[in-house]
Amino acid sequence: MPRSTPTTLALPPFSGATRRLILILLGVFFADALLGLILPTNFYRTLAAHLLLIPIDVVHGQLWQLATYIFLPMGITGTLFALLTLWFVGSMLEDIRGSRWLLELFLTSGIGGAILATAISFTHLFNLSPYSLAAGCYPAIFGLLIAVAVLMGDTEFLLLFIVSIKAKYLVAIYILIQLALLLKTDNAFGALLQLCGALAGYLFLRYSPRRGLAFGFTERYYALRNDFYRSKRRRAARKFEVYMSKQGRTDLHFDKDGRYVDPDKDPTDKRWMN
């Protein structure tokens, strides 16, 4: 059950998908720092420009930017706070929904938010421009925060390590801050991206199967496969009935799934059926 008591300052377990995501983000952070030192400046900037999220480049075919921007660093301070937030929030969600679900929520929030923000940037609302650029995992983390607010809204956190506040109110404050940045700043694309990440996270939480998209797709695949095999068996049963009727045998019967019904057996006992 979700906890309703205030969280302590003790660090959560560092394991599972949360650990993998943090290690990947840390690895990219140090790789970016190293490449910035050893590569020529112009080449490094050109490489970064192809990995950042730039709406005009996305519509011109650089679709990988919808995912790669999530893993690019935002500076030391921004990366530090993002990783700490991911550690605390990701561990809580992974504990109740599992590693695969957490990974799907993280990527859906980041990529889905990028798609929505890219589309909205072409409307030029709020002084938006399709030539804006963005990087960092905060849109994906906003999706995790929305999940915490929905699933564990009464869980209490220590705001600034001083004030106890429920998760749903804390997330609402974050959203209001991003709305203010969207309305009052010249570079509103970053705020829009985080809000879109929150929306994508909510839609995933609302409409995806409880155990995640991969589990839902797997269930659907096996259901379709079983339907296909049952239809083949029904066709084979009908052909066999026609063949046996030509041989004078009209006492053969098959059920709706094409399985032979033995007249000497209890029709309600299906343990013997193939």
- For 161-193, what is each residue's pLDDT tens digit? 577 888 888 899 999 999 998 888 777 899 999
User: Digits of tens for pLDDT over the chain (274 positions)?
Assistant: 444 544 445 678 888 999 999 999 999 999 999 998 998 989 999 999 999 999 999 999 999 999 999 999 888 888 999 999 999 999 999 998 889 999 999 999 999 999 999 999 999 888 888 999 999 999 999 999 999 999 988 887 766 557 788 888 889 999 999 999 888 877 789 999 999 999 999 999 988 876 655 555 555 655 666 667 677 777 776 777 666 676 666 666 666 666 666 666 655 555 544 4
Q: What pLDDT does 184 receive?
A: 81
**pLDDT tens sequence across 189-217:** 999 999 999 999 999 998 887 665 555 55
From residue 32, alpha-carbon distances to 28, 35, 42 in Å are 6, 5, 14
Kindly report the pTM of this predicted structure: 0.76
Angle, helices 189-207/99-121, rounded to nearest 10 degrees: 130
- Using DSSP's 3-state secondary structure scheme, residue 260 falls into strand
CA distance 207 to 214: 13
